Homo-oligomer: A and B are copies of this chain.
Amino acid sequence: MSPFDDLMAFARETAALQQVAGRLSWDQETVMPRGAAAQRAEEMAAMEAVLHARATDPRVADWLAAIDPAALDAAGRAQLRLIRRRHERMKRVPARLAAEIARVTSLGQGIWAEAREADDPGAFLPTLAEILRLKREEAAALAATGGELYDALLDDYEPGATGAGLAAMFAALRPRLVALRAAILGSGRNVPVLAARFPAEAQLRLARELATAFGYDWQTGRLDLAVHPFSSGSGTDCRITTRVCETDPFSCIYSTIHEVGHAAYEQGVDRAFLLTPLGAGVSMGVHESQSRIAENQLGRSAAFTGWLFGRLREVFGDFGLADAGTFYAVVNRVTPGYIRTEADEVHYNLHILMRFDLERALIAGDLGTGDLEAAWNDRFLADFGVAVDRPRHGFLQDVHWSVGLFGYFPTYTLGNVYAGCLHAALRADLPDLDDQLARGDARPAMAWLRERVQRHGGLYQPAETIARATGSAPGPGPLLDYLEAKFGALYGL
Interface residues of A (CB under 8 A from B): 12-14, 16-17, 19-20, 23-24, 27, 31-36, 38-40, 42-43, 45-47, 49-50, 217-222, 224, 235-237, 239, 274-275
Contacts and interface: CB of A to CB of B under 8 A. Distances in A.
A27 B33 contact: no
Contacts of A35: 217, 219-220, 236-237
Contacts of A32: 237
Contact of A39 (B19, B50, B219): B19
B236 A38 contact: yes
Given A19-B39, A275-B42, A13 B222 contact: no
B221 A33 contact: yes
B39 A222 contact: no
Given A33-B236, A36-B237, A39-B274, 4 more contacts: A33-B237, A35-B219, A35-B220, A42-B275
Contact of A47 (B17, B39, B220, B224): B17
Nearest to A274: B39
B275 A33 contact: no
A38 B23 CA distance: 15
Contacts of A24: 20, 23
A42 B220 CA distance: 15
B38 A20 contact: no
Contacts of A33: 218-222, 236-237, 239
B23 A42 contact: no
Nearest 5 pairs of A and B residues by beta carbon: A35-B219, A36-B237, A16-B46, A35-B220, A16-B43
Contacts of A40: 237
Report how many copies the assembly holds. 2
A216 B187 CA distance: 60
- The A interface is mostly helix, strand or loop, or mixed, namely helix
Nearest to A218: B33
B31 A19 contact: no
A224 to B, nearest CB: 8
A220 B14 CA distance: 30
A31 B241 CA distance: 13
**Chain B CB within 10 Å, residue with most, of A27, A46, A237:** A46
30 contacts: A13-B42, A14-B46, A16-B39, A16-B43, A16-B46, A17-B43, A17-B46, A17-B47, A19-B43, A20-B20, A20-B46, A20-B47, A23-B23, A27-B27, A32-B237, A33-B218, A33-B220, A33-B237, A33-B239, A34-B219, A35-B217, A35-B219, A35-B236, A36-B236, A36-B237, A38-B236, A39-B235, A39-B275, A40-B237, A42-B275
A275 B103 CA distance: 15
A310 to B, nearest CB: 31
Contacts of A222: 31, 33
A75 to B, nearest CB: 19
Contacts of A236: 33, 35-36, 38-39
Nearest to A234: B39
Contacts of A275: 39, 42
Contacts of A38: 236
B34 A31 contact: no
Contacts of A36: 220, 235-237
Contacts of A221: 33
A257 to B, nearest CB: 19
A218 B219 CA distance: 31
Nearest to A40: B237
A304 B19 CA distance: 45
A414 B36 CA distance: 31
A423 to B, nearest CB: 30
A16 B31 contact: no
Task: Pick the most buried of A13, A45, A224: most chain B CB atoms within 10 A of its CB.
Answer: A13
A34 B45 CA distance: 29
A21 to B, nearest CB: 8
Nearest to A32: B237
A49 B220 contact: no
A464 B395 CA distance: 57
Contacts of A13: 42, 46, 49
Contacts of A235: 36, 39
A239 to B, nearest CB: 7
A26 to B, nearest CB: 8
A185 to B, nearest CB: 45
Nearest to A38: B236
Contacts of A220: 33, 35-36
Nearest to A39: B236
Contacts of A12: 42
